[in-house]
Amino acid sequence: MKSSVEKVFLDYMHDNGLSMTPQRKLIVETFLETEGHFSAETLWSIVRERVSDVGQATVYRTLKILVDSGLADCFDLGDGVSLYEHAYGHEHHDHLVCMQCGAKVEIFDQTIENRQEEVAGRFGFELTRHRMYLFGLCPKCQKEKA
């Protein structure tokens, strides 16, 4: 039986007149098997461990499809590198990032979400989405520093 994620992807492909190719299949599978937050470059290197002649551009192009189809979420921490993570079946969340080691924790706080709506409403804005990144030092790096 086809997994629910694959169905969503194939439906998106079909609905938009896109074709399935061995490269895309490989990239999507690799994406789904890779946990955490990673760059296109990183995903490319993992893909190439399996099949050596997949082009970098194809990885970028496929990641765009993954984002558009709702399977991936793309964000960047302000350093010019886009990071990707699984979006299908994952609730919305923000990130807590260690500035020392780069560790990332997914966070969610309903109070913050509510206040965001409320603040936006105060200015008559209709809120669509938001991004929030908290930067600091993780427990481990605090110890190492002391």
Partner DNA sequence: CATTTAATTGCAATTGGTTTTCAGTATCGC
Partner DNA sequence: GCGATACTGAAAACCAATTGCAATTAAATG
Min separation Cβ 76 and a copy of itself, Å:
6
Amino acid code (one letter) for 43: L
x/- map, 61-100, a copy of itself, by CB under 8 A: --------------xx-x-x---------------x-xx-
CA angle (34, 9, 130) in 5-degree steps? 70
Q: Got the DSSP string for 31-81?
A: HHH--S-EEHHHHHHHHHHH-TT--HHHHHHHHHHHHHTTSEEEEE-SSS-
In the complex, least distance from residue 37 CB atom to DNA, rounded to whole angstroms: 12
- Identify residues 16-55 at the interface with DNA (CB under 7 A): 17-24, 39-41, 53-55
CB of 65 to DNA, least distance (A): 8
CB of 18 to DNA, least distance (A): 3
CB 96 within 8 A of CB 105: yes
- The neighbour count for residue 112, using CB atoms within 10 Å, is 12
Residues at the site binding a copy of itself, with contacts judged by CB under 8 A: 75-76, 78, 80, 96, 98-99, 105, 107, 109, 111-112, 115-116, 118-120, 123-139, 142
